[in-house]
Amino acid sequence: MLTTIYIAPYLMYMRNSFMVSRLLVLLLFVSFSFSAKSQLQETFSHNGEFGFSVGLGHYFGDLDPNVALDHSKIAFGVFYSKQFGNYVSLKASVNYAALGYSDAYSKNLWQKQRNLSFDSDVWEFSLSGNFNFFKFYPEIAVFRFTPYISLGIGAMTFNPYASMSGNTYFLRSMKTEGQSSPYSNVALVAPLGMGVKYNVSDNVNVFAELIYRFTSTGYLDDVYGVYADPSAKNFPNDASLHLQDRSYQYGIFHKAGEQRGNSRNDSYATFQVGLSFNIEGYHCPMKPLLY
């Protein structure tokens, strides 16, 4: 009985000591984990990315006034981005989009009888500022995903063309609205985008983004203003007269000054998915000088 009285407190002490030891080990492990993560964040530097993307491009303008998303075409691009802090980056990109549309796709009778169409290869160079909603550290699991938005400025080149009687004509040189000189095939663009990005390994990310471009031209589709006088000397040949007013195939001939386009600038958008590769750097945390 006396033995039990003396041993019980000792056993209680040993059990409490064991629990305290386990608690101390757990606290040390948690402290080390946070310390390691903090040190990694202090020493790891996400300097930027480079990559490529592929998807679809779609035009919006006189031939697609109802923003129909059918008949999209191929689009792709490459880019390089420089990271500034955890949230902001500057991206330089080169993109290609095959754009085109036709009045034949419309359910509107006036449009069908207008009977115009175009295709164009569009090349774009732009600079955009990107803003991440979350911190993005590719080597830390909890910071591997972020949505983002972007806004930029750039320039594009375009050259619309159409087929008639088995021949292909570049419409800009045809001066289809009786212009005294061809319109410029270079225009400004203002890309506005949003996307999501996920880091799948330390060096590789996947992303998906939708970018809408405002442009400074209404001639992306070669349609802008009114029908010109067929007797005007600005038309280079008979083909340009037929390309100006293709309603003749329905037995309709428009008079000079009648509406041909909506006199508004055109736009286009791309939806793309892609891969990017991280540009990483490391730096040593500054330590206090010891005297």
The DSSP annotation for 174-225 comes to HTTT--SSPPPSEEEEEEEEEEEEEESSSSEEEEEEEEEEEES-S-TTS--S
**Dist. CA 19–CA 124, nearest whole Å:** 66
Per-residue pLDDT at 131: 96
Rounded CA-CA distance 75/155 in Å is 16
By C-alpha distance, which of 160, 197, 152, 198 is closest to 177? 160
Instruction: Tell me which DSSP letter residue 246 carries.
Output: G
- Closest to 96 measured CA to CA, from 160, 45, 36, 158: 158
| 206 and 93 in a common domain | yes
Same domain, yes or no, for 156 and 241? yes
Structural domain count of the chain: 2
Looking at the fold, whether 28 and 94 belong to one and the same domain comes out as no
68 and 39 fall within a common domain: no
Same domain (yes/no): 157, 36: no
Whole-number Å distance between alpha carbons of 68 and 71? 9
> What own/partner pairs with CB < 8 Å and gap ≥ 24 does 163-170 have?
163/117, 164/239, 164/242, 164/243, 164/246, 167/239, 169/239, 169/243
List the domain range (segments joined by +) for residue 12.
1-43
Tokens of 169: 């004509």
CATH at residue 255: 2.40.160.20
> Do 100 and 239 belong together in one domain?
yes
Q: Give yes or no: residues 134 and 104 share one domain.
A: yes
The CA distance from 123 to 207, in Å, is: 22
State the pairing for strand pair 88-102/73-84. antiparallel
**What is the C-alpha separation between 83 and 215, in angstroms, rounded?**
27
Q: Rounded to the nearest 10 degrees, how much is the dihedral formed by the CA atoms of 157, 162, 166, 169?
A: -60
Do the domain assignments include residue 144?
yes
Query: Which of 269, 204, 226 lies closest to 51, judged by CA?
Result: 204
Q: Which two tokens stand for residue 156?
A: 């594009």
Residue 289 lies in a domain: no
- Asked if residue 264 belongs to a domain, the reply is yes
**Residue 287 belongs to some domain of the structure:** no
User: Could you tell me if 6 and 136 lie in one domain?
Assistant: no
162: alpha, beta or left? (left if phi > 0; alpha if psi -120 to 50): beta
pLDDT value of position 44: 60
Residue 137 pLDDT: 81
Check whether residue 192 and residue 101 sit in a common domain.
Answer: yes
Residue 163 lies in a domain: yes
111 and 31 share one domain: no
C-beta atoms surrounding 120 within 10 Å = 26
* Tokens linked to 196: 């999501």
Is 78 in the same domain as 204? Answer: yes
Residue 288 lies in a domain: no
61 vs 186, 198, 211, 265, 291, CA distance in Å? 17, 34, 16, 7, 71
Confidence at residue 65, expressed as pLDDT on a 0 to 100 scale? 87
In a domain, 291, yes or no: no
Do 4 and 128 share a domain, yes or no? no
Mean pLDDT in consecutive groups of 10 residues from the start of the chain, 291 residues: 48 49 48 43 73 97 88 96 92 98 94 96 98 87 92 98 95 94 97 97 94 98 94 86 93 93 96 94 51 37
